[in-house]
Structure 1
Amino acid sequence: MEGCKKLVLVALVLALAIFSEPMVANAQTLCRMTKEGLKACEPSVNGPNPAPPSAACCSALSNADMQCLCLFKNSRLLNLYGIDPNLALALPSKCNLPQTRC
């Protein structure tokens, strides 16, 4: 269950970064994930046939501040941005990353 919360947060951050340019503009990061890193994970969290997470996505997740991402865990924006929370929750395990408690 804790891993699920972590992935929901990752998905939310992805959505916010992808659809909200000012949050990660000018080489800034969101929870230590760059816009490029967030975009790299986008194909893995939406659509009926999501792609496996890329090396770039996993690298971005490995550098992310997961406690920071936990702040987004209860947001309802995931569905608004087409992010499947179940897919997002699966990303860390698919990337062989440790679980984070939120």
Structure 2
Amino acid sequence: MVLTAAMLVTEAMSISLCNINTNDLEKCRPAVAGRNPPPPGPDCCAVVKAANIECGCKYKFYLSSYGINPSKAKAVIASCGARIPSCFRRLKN
């Protein structure tokens, strides 16, 4: 899920992936990148709750190459009140 958000920085076209429009993933980018990201906003949490996060697990290993910290992605998922998928459970916050 979050990997696709990183790709959107250079792509204007939107596709549906893991039950969401990929353009909407950009709403979460500030909360998963950088050293001290802000907490996710309501728009980001709406995206997280609509997403099939288990589906996004197959992209987890590509996150760091796009400047996204997988542990921060896990924290955003938890902060938004969504169920943390198995592929993120072992990551430290």
TM-score (norm 1): 0.70
Higher RCO, 1 or 2 (CA under 8 Å, sep at least 6)?
Answer: 1
Kept after mapping to 1: 8 A contact 2:5/2:25: yes
2:6 is the alignment partner of 1:15 = yes
Distance 1:35 1:12 in 2: 10
Mind listing any 5+ residue stretches in structure 1 that lack a counterpart? 1-9
Identity %: 33
**Pairing of 1:45-56 with structure 2 (within 5 A):** 45-56=32-43
Distance 1:85 1:99 in 2: 12
Mind listing any 5+ residue stretches in structure 2 that lack a counterpart? 88-93
Tell me the amino acid that sits aligned with residue 62 of structure 1: K
CA RMSD of aligned residues (A): 2.0
The Cα shift of 1:13 comes to 3.2
Partner of 1:82 in structure 2?
67
The Cα shift of 1:56 comes to 0.7
Structure ranking higher in strand proportion: 2
Provide, for residues 1-50 of structure 1, a one-character-per-residue CA deviation record: whole Å limited to 9, x for no partner. Answer: xxxxxxxxx4323223x24527xx25x32212223321000000111220
